[in-house]
Amino acid sequence: MPKILYIEHNGKEHVVDADVGKSVMQNALENLVPGIIGDCGGACSCATCHGYIDPAWEGKAGSRNENEEMMLDGALRVEPNSRLTCQVIMTQELDGLVVRLPESQF
Amino acid sequence: MNSAAAQSISWDPYNTDLIPNPYPMYKRLREEMPLYYNEEHDFYAISRYADIEATLRDRDLFSSAHGDILEFIKAKSVMPDSVFIHQDPPKHTAYRSLMQRIITPKRMFAVEQDIRALCARSLDHLVGGDRFDFITNLGAEMPMRAVSMLLGIPEKDQTAIRESVDARMRTEAGKPIDLANQQAIQQEALAGFEEYISWREKNPSDDMMTELLQTDFKDPEGVVRKLTRDEISNIVNVVAGAGNETTNRLIGWMGKTLSEHPDQRRDIVKNPALIPAAIEELLRYEPPGPFLAREVMRDIELHGKKIPKGAAMIMLVAAGNRDESRFVDGDKFNIHREQRPHMTFGQGIHVCIGAPLARLEGRVAMEEVLKRFPEWEVDYDKAVMSSTSSVRGWDSLPVWIGSKPKNYVAPKPAAPAPAPAAPAADVTLEGTWNVVVKGPTGPQPAVLTLERNGDSFTGAQAGAGTSTPIADFKKTGNKIYWVNHITKPMKIKVEFTGELSGNVITGKAKAGFMGSYPFTATKA
Ligand code: HEM
Ligand code: FES
């Protein structure tokens, strides 16, 4: 199983055995990683699954889609490497992915 | 499970016995009847977290085209496209994506300081006193004001509204409110929403209303155009309707739940950084909207039972939020529990768009209350709970702050209306009544004209520039009931249920998914 490393804003790390095909948001929720909420369940409608993709992974993790771009436009604490993690689907190639979490999702 | 016990499982949204504490029944439903069917009202209900989650995410199988409230689905209610809470894709998508650009977290966060100032204004004069009311003094006005701030109604134009608010806040808990005076102020506050829209058109700013007026919108037919006035009005009504009563209830539950958990309240006072987690736990534990409904679009089978196409399905959010398979000791309020998302804001494409604002209001209210009143105790003799088809919570939640006086004698309950001049003589119902509904966007005036034909009454109600006939007018003792199918600002059935006292009828006007609002009707 590929792994994802989530780093909370306070530096606390969570390594998770991720399910391929599920989103980075879903993998966080199923492993009780605090700091990702995912209110809309992945419908790209709530922006409570915001995370920062480690620059080393930006290419592989793909880029924002149009809807996601629009949601991030109105969100808080957005950086160039911000993504809505429900829109990043886990693959074998993303093994080792590092995602930092914002101070708060709202 | 034995069948005798199973037979006694019964739940419906109208059962008043279950309103004070529905949770033991929810637990039984989860454990014994995860798919429940209610014959009397012909609906299905699910109560397990996983089932509710799956249902809310499956927008093709579970439709919102006839709304998200049982009565609406049964009535096959149809609303204008712009009432997007009441639509499926692609109509929903068109308005939702527009609104997502407009009600952004950024914009919601921008009103934090104003909300805090409002809290301070509401609470400061209570410091040093014995009591305050979480609803009257805080919950009743804050959510509406927050939405007004979002809309960009300028402070100076809010003066009339604020005067009315302050007048009420100055009224001590348990003392009657000067209704006549309040009505006069409210009429004034009716400077008119329409007028505000026109004014804003000429004075654009960076608020939500300006954006609603200026934005290019791709409608469900794919045409790019501006929103019409009717659409703007509907959208504002949806936002206000979805955001007012729910957030009001959250504030009431805050008062009640923290009063019953003084140890955790002390933890929060000591460490205010716990407040966001406390708000999430509160939302999980006592969801202001305890259930949602959908229409089932295909024949399906769930937990071994068939559900026919067209059935109404209720999702018991309040039951799912305490599902033991997801939340350890689900029936326990514990702000320190492992943080897992709850279902209180829904899930999927209709997920609450105002959740950041609701959370912000909750957080700021808790901070400002605890700063001034680290301890309180609910006065249950005076507290009033209510439950409608969409929300459950407190209409009034007075609390003791500081010390509860020994030998305290509760004041007489607030009179519902000024005493009639000639109480013995029954007012004649036929004639003209001035009706004021305290609606989500401010007081809505209307004129009700009643005619008597023998024992029955017919008539018409005029408001918002249109007049529509009323139906089902009934008088039982001093209880009055009638229905008005209004067409403006949207097609909706409004049910008036009130009590006649002298020449005034006071009660609630229930406007479908918009919720219930107080009204008064005064014989002209
Ligand atoms: C504690 C307070 C609140 C609760 C519990 C709550 C709950 C909900 C729920 C459960 C839904 C989904 C309905 C469904 O799936 O059928 C919803 C939708 C909605 N809420 Fe809230 N809400 C709250 C506050 C607010 C606020 C403050 C606003 C506005 C600023 C708001 C605006 C909306 C809107 C516009 C929708 C419709 C979204 C859609 O259909 O796409 N809500 N809310
Ligand atoms: S989970 Fe809602 S936007 Fe990602």
Q: Which domains does chain A have, with CATH numbers?
A: 3-100 (3.10.20.30)
Whether the Cβ atoms of residue B473 and residue B459 lie closer than 8 Å to each other: yes
Q: Using the 8-state DSSP alphabet, how is residue A89 labeled? A: B
CA distance B29 to B303: 13
Amino acid (1-letter code) at residue B105? P
How many angstroms separate the CA atoms of B260 and B195, rounded? 46
- Tens digits of residue pLDDT in A34-82: 999 999 999 999 999 999 999 999 899 999 999 999 999 999 999 999 9
Assess contact for A56 and A82: CB atoms under 8 A.
no
CA neighbor of A44 nearest in space, from A105, A74, A86, A79: A86
**Alpha carbon nearest to ligand 2 atom 1, residue:** A38
Q: How far is A73 from chain B (nearest CA, A)?
A: 8
Q: CB of B296 within 8 A of CB of B307?
A: yes
B9-401 and B424-523: same fold?
no
Digit-by-digit pLDDT tens for chain B (524 residues) are 444 455 589 999 888 889 999 999 999 999 999 999 999 999 999 999 999 999 999 999 999 999 999 988 998 988 899 999 999 999 999 999 999 999 999 999 999 999 999 999 999 999 999 999 999 999 988 888 898 888 887 655 555 544 544 444 344 333 333 444 544 443 444 345 667 778 888 888 888 899 999 999 999 999 999 999 889 988 888 888 788 889 999 999 999 999 999 999 999 999 999 999 999 999 999 999 999 999 999 999 999 999 999 999 999 999 999 999 999 999 999 999 988 899 999 999 999 999 999 999 999 999 999 999 999 999 999 999 988 778 899 999 999 997 666 556 555 444 444 433 334 456 788 888 888 877 655 567 788 989 988 888 999 998 766 788 899 999 888 899 999 988 766 677 889 999 998 888 988 888 866 677 888 888 88
Nearest-Cα distance to chain A for B458, in Å, is 47
Domain ranges across chain B: 9-401, 424-523
Ligand 1 closest atom vs CA B64: 16
Mutation test of ligand 2: which of A22, A26, A48 has the most ligand atoms closer than 8 Å to its C-beta? A48
Interface of A with B (CB under 8 A): 29, 32, 34, 37-43, 45-48, 67, 70-71, 73-76, 104, 106
Q: Rounded to the nearest 5 degrees, what angle is found at the Cα of B175, between the Cα atoms of B243 and B504?
A: 75
Which residues make Cβ contacts (< 8 Å) with residue B455, sequence separation at least 6?
none
* Ligand 1 neighbour B84 (Cβ under 6 A): yes
Our mutation pick for probing the ligand 1 site, out of B246, B282, B313, B513, counting the most ligand atoms within 8 A of Cβ, is: B246
For chain A, the maximum distance between any two Cα atoms, rounded to a whole number of angstroms, is 35
Three-state DSSP state, B184: helix
Task: Report yes or no: B342 and B280 within 8 Å, Cβ to Cβ.
Answer: yes
CATH code of the region B9-401: 1.10.630.10
Q: Is B202 exposed, middle or buried (0-12, 13-18, 19+ CB in 10 A)?
A: exposed
Instruction: Output the CA–CA distances (angstroms, integers) from residue B113 to B64, B354, B508, in the order listed.
Output: 36, 17, 33
Q: How far apart are CA B12 and CA A25, in angstroms?
A: 35
B46 Cβ partners below 8 Å, 6+ apart? B34, B35, B36, B52, B55, B302, B313, B314, B315, B316
User: Is B242 close to ligand 1, i.e. is its CB under 6 Å away?
Assistant: yes
Q: Which amino acid is at B53?
A: E
Cβ atoms B413, B433 nearer than 8 A: no
**B16: part of which helix (H) or strand (E)?**
none
Phi, psi angle pair for B11, to nearest 5°: -145, 135
Q: How far apart are CA A85 and CA A77, in angstroms?
A: 15
State which fold the B424-523 domain adopts. Answer: Lipocalin (2.40.128)
Q: CA-to-CA distance for A45 and B349, rounded, in angstroms? A: 6
**Closest atom, ligand 1, to C-alpha of B293:** 16
Bond into B90 cis (ω within 30): yes
Residue B480's SS3 state is: strand
- B344 Cβ closer than 6 Å to some ligand 1 atom: yes
Angle, CA B350 vertex, CA B221 and CA B31 arms, to 5°: 140
